[in-house]
A = this chain, B = another copy of it.
Amino acid sequence: MPTKPSARRQVARSRARRRTYHHGDLPRALRAAAKTLVAARGADGFTLREAARVVGVNHAAAYRHFADKRALLAALAEEGYETLAARMGAAVARIAEDDVVGRLRAALAAYVRFALDEPALFGLMTGPRLNEDGRFPELERAIADASGVLEAALRGGQERGVFRRGSTTDATLALLSLAHGYAELVLTRRIHVKPARVGEYLGTLLEPLLRGLRPA
């Protein structure tokens, strides 16, 4: 049973055996290859040339679509923050609206789980490589969205009187700092905890901070 010509062309293209001159959607293909390669080799080990090789294209072709290597990595980081925000949002939505402490715990647990699920991507997102200068404004927006999930959950708690009034931003950043620091310290093996216990131990470390946020 012969394949339809259009499907055939698809396959040939994906195998990089195509003779067609244009790629079709090189930016997308490069992002996909980059995501796999970053996960496999780490953010440091990633090279533009290998990504181009995987896609089956001359390495110089990447520069038609991305200003440089960092721009491609920034696109990846942006996708990462979107995924992170979505996972945090989904984790919050799974908990009853009036259980605000549960919602905060769930959001922060999702943050830490993401970091450990995708260490190289998380490293890219939070490392010094991309956030140095004022480039990549869309990246900044994606970051804000992710911490917005946290802030919304916290505000709900303050309105219900579960948390003391005061700066929502301050409380959000205290929680985010603790969760982020915990994730980093686990990833770099400065906190030793079995993979299966990572979420549980986050709860333990979070406890005194949550207690301190409650009304006097």
Contacts and interface: CB of A to CB of B under 8 A. Distances in A.
B123 A119 contact: no
Given A143-B190, A190-B131, A180 B174 contact: no
Given A174-B209, A208-B174, A131 B189 contact: yes
A42 to B, nearest CB: 7
A176 B170 contact: no
Q: How many copies does the complex hold?
A: 2
A207 B178 CA distance: 13
Contact of A176 (B171, B181, B188): B181
| Size bracket, chain A contacts | 35 or more
A170 B205 contact: yes
A205 B183 CA distance: 18
A44 B181 contact: no
A173 B189 contact: no
Interface of A: 42-44, 119, 123, 126-129, 131, 143, 147, 170-171, 173-174, 176-185, 187-191, 204-213
25 contacts: A42-B128, A43-B128, A44-B44, A44-B128, A123-B128, A126-B184, A126-B188, A131-B189, A143-B190, A173-B191, A174-B178, A177-B178, A177-B182, A177-B205, A179-B181, A180-B184, A180-B185, A181-B181, A181-B183, A207-B212, A208-B212, A208-B213, A209-B212, A210-B212, A212-B212
